Chain A
């Protein structure tokens, strides 16, 4: 089930193409990572979803029908460039932004009270925003993003500016929103958080989607059948005990253990690698090396080979 999809979205600005026939489909209830190097067109795409700018070509669908202006009430957006009115009090500001999201005054107040209590910032209600620390402001921005309980949440670099404790809190809250049934689009450069949170990703590079699909499958596709073995009691050349098709990519000494990463042919089972070791060495650990999103990102972007899994 997809909550949102974009079909053939193109956007040109004077002199350059920001998006070139982009197709993206976001499954309901997923945390969808929107990745890509700087200037790839992520922010333009997010602005198009939020109907801040209109695409030159293409169509957007929300729950199977075309996106309507009123759908902004179903979307919560935390932009990368975010801020608050410095001279307004926190409470007034939160009320204002919540009401702009379509909440009634009473509703907004009730919900804000709940969140302010939860985030332990209640005593800041009457303080001016300029008196708040940056992390505190981020909390306020985050909670007004989710206050109207939208079905689709869009976070553009949500963790920038958060200390580890608050970042953890934010991560838990994003996951909690997912559990409540929200779908999350998550744009970031932070691959660790992608690894941790996302179940789907799309990688945009140079205005095009170059990689797209569930994280698990992408990783499967990019795995190289490389294993890491740590062992001792063998001091000779590894190549002499391994079949010639096996390739030692790296080798180093960690105190009394020798560690090696070895790539084996795709049709070979890891058992064969273990059996090659068994007569000569004592194995202490054995693990498959799954490519990190970071590796995949770098590989895809530097190789610039459009590869797509799951093209709808």
Chain B
């Protein structure tokens, strides 16, 4: 045990001290921060003019949607089904439908579009609707207050009671005219992101294990070492050592990314927050001295809408269960890596140089690449049959399950997937140890699959 720790230490330290590790540690978070920040930046940046058709069955929001620099509204009086069928011909960017509800003040709407609706448009609509709903509520509240003058006016209570949450569902109208509920953007981004990341990590660090083994073989140091440690100890020490490097890199990325994102965006956020509290305090002050004139602020400014867009991204990010995501990532990375790492080590042991690895790499990389190729499908159908099987089958589950997890996966499926992954890891390690043990002492021999099979049965 003492020796395997020495090996792990060496494998870990020699890699962590490399310049390339430092470069990756800095570049990674910059890249990831960019992935988070760029959409936010784009959301606030004005782009081409979009027209939104509005069908307002309630009548409450008539003429309330003011045109902005990049969003134009026009109202339709037709019914929703014909509007939907005409939608594709109309050239409109989106169709906003506010259905009539039983309660007097509606709090939800449906947004139809051909593609995903930009956060900017969505948040502007949400803002206007929220504002209007809050105004209506406030009006009603004030009416109540006027009829009932006995109670003292509690401004905080009024503000609380008028607070409204407007729910906007987005539905995609596809080419075939079919409707598809569009996935929640944040789950999609997270799923794609962690799927790619886990693929990338397994590949990168698995290949490092393989290269490490080949290096020991070509350096001819292997025999010196295995005269003092067992080949299995050397193999596991290397796999674990490199795995810890991966884990360190990942954790540094998480910490640094959060750091960068927080620093860069705090400027956005602080600005928005300040304005918000300032407005609130104006409202509060006005309420104190002039209770009859409460609705002081009218429609929100375009400016505020944009800031809300930023905040919305943050809200969405905050709604993600990061401990679960990071925990699952670490588990699936670790065991996915250990499983593949053993296979990579076996390949390294069997060949003399990296050029000879091709034929053995293929069967290992196919499931990994397949799970990346299928990613788009998994995202569109995160609970479907195919996705399910891919996320259970151990060779594809690390990537497929990580894509599914942000969408919510039943516990038993996660447990099954994890259990199978651990079992497969034990199996591949056992297999790899046998191939490795024989392979590391073989030089100058082209190894075939037949040969490997023989080694397995020694």
A contacts, CB < 8 Å to B: 14, 47, 50, 52-53, 72, 75, 77-79, 81-88, 96-97, 99-102, 141, 144
Contact = CB atoms under 8 A, between A and B. Distances in A.
Contacts of B223: 47, 52, 77, 79, 81-82
A2 to B, nearest CB: 22
Given A79-B223, A100-B3, A141-B224, 10 more contacts: A47-B223, A75-B227, A77-B227, A82-B223, A84-B221, A96-B6, A96-B10, A97-B225, A100-B229, A102-B228
A83 B224 contact: yes
A88 B222 CA distance: 15
B454 interface: yes
B454 A101 contact: no
A75 B14 CA distance: 28
B220 A83 contact: yes
B252 to A, nearest CB: 22
Interface string B219-245: 111111111110100000000000000
Nearest to B216: A85
A169 B220 CA distance: 23
Contacts of A101: 228
A86 B229 contact: no
B326 interface: no
B441 interface: yes
B219 A83 contact: yes
A52 B226 contact: yes
Contacts of B228: 72, 97, 100-102
A47 B441 contact: yes
16 contacts: A50-B227, A53-B441, A72-B227, A77-B223, A77-B224, A79-B220, A79-B227, A81-B222, A81-B223, A81-B443, A86-B219, A97-B224, A97-B228, A99-B6, A100-B6, A100-B228
Which residue of A47, A50, A78, A85 has the most chain B CB atoms within 10 A of its CB atom?
A85
Contacts of B219: 83-86
B221 A83 contact: yes
Interface in B110-133: none
Contact of B220 (A72, A82, A96, A97): A82
A141 B231 CA distance: 20
A102 B228 CA distance: 9
A82 B224 contact: yes
Nearest to A83: B220
Given A52-B226, A52-B441, A81 B220 contact: yes
A81 B3 CA distance: 22
A144 B441 CA distance: 21
B447 to A, nearest CB: 12
A88 B14 contact: yes
Which residue of B6, B7, B223 has the most chain A CB atoms within 10 A of its CB atom?
B223
Interface string B416-458: 0000000000000000000000000101000000000010000
A33 B19 CA distance: 47
A130 to B, nearest CB: 10
Contacts of A84: 219, 221
Nearest to B437: A53
A100 B221 CA distance: 13
B14 A14 contact: no
A52 B454 contact: no
A174 B6 CA distance: 29
B443 A52 contact: no
A42 to B, nearest CB: 14
A86 B3 CA distance: 21
A85 B219 CA distance: 7
Contacts of A81: 220, 222-223, 443
Contacts of B224: 77-79, 82-83, 97, 141, 144
Contacts of A144: 224
Contacts of B229: 100
B232 to A, nearest CB: 12
B227 A52 contact: yes
A16 to B, nearest CB: 13
Contacts of A87: 14
A276 B307 CA distance: 122
Nearest to A14: B454
A155 B31 CA distance: 53
Contacts of B454: 14
Contacts of B443: 81
Contacts of B221: 82-85
A87 B20 CA distance: 14
Nearest to B13: A92
Which residue of B7, B220, B227, B229 has the most chain A CB atoms within 10 A of its CB atom?
B227
Nearest to A76: B227
A97 B220 CA distance: 14
Nearest to A77: B227
A53 B458 CA distance: 12
Nearest to A154: B227
A102 B2 CA distance: 9
A173 B226 CA distance: 24
Contacts of B227: 50, 52, 72, 75, 77, 79
A83 B216 CA distance: 9
Interface in B1-59: 3, 6-7, 10, 14
Contacts of B226: 52
Contacts of A86: 219
Contacts of A47: 223, 441
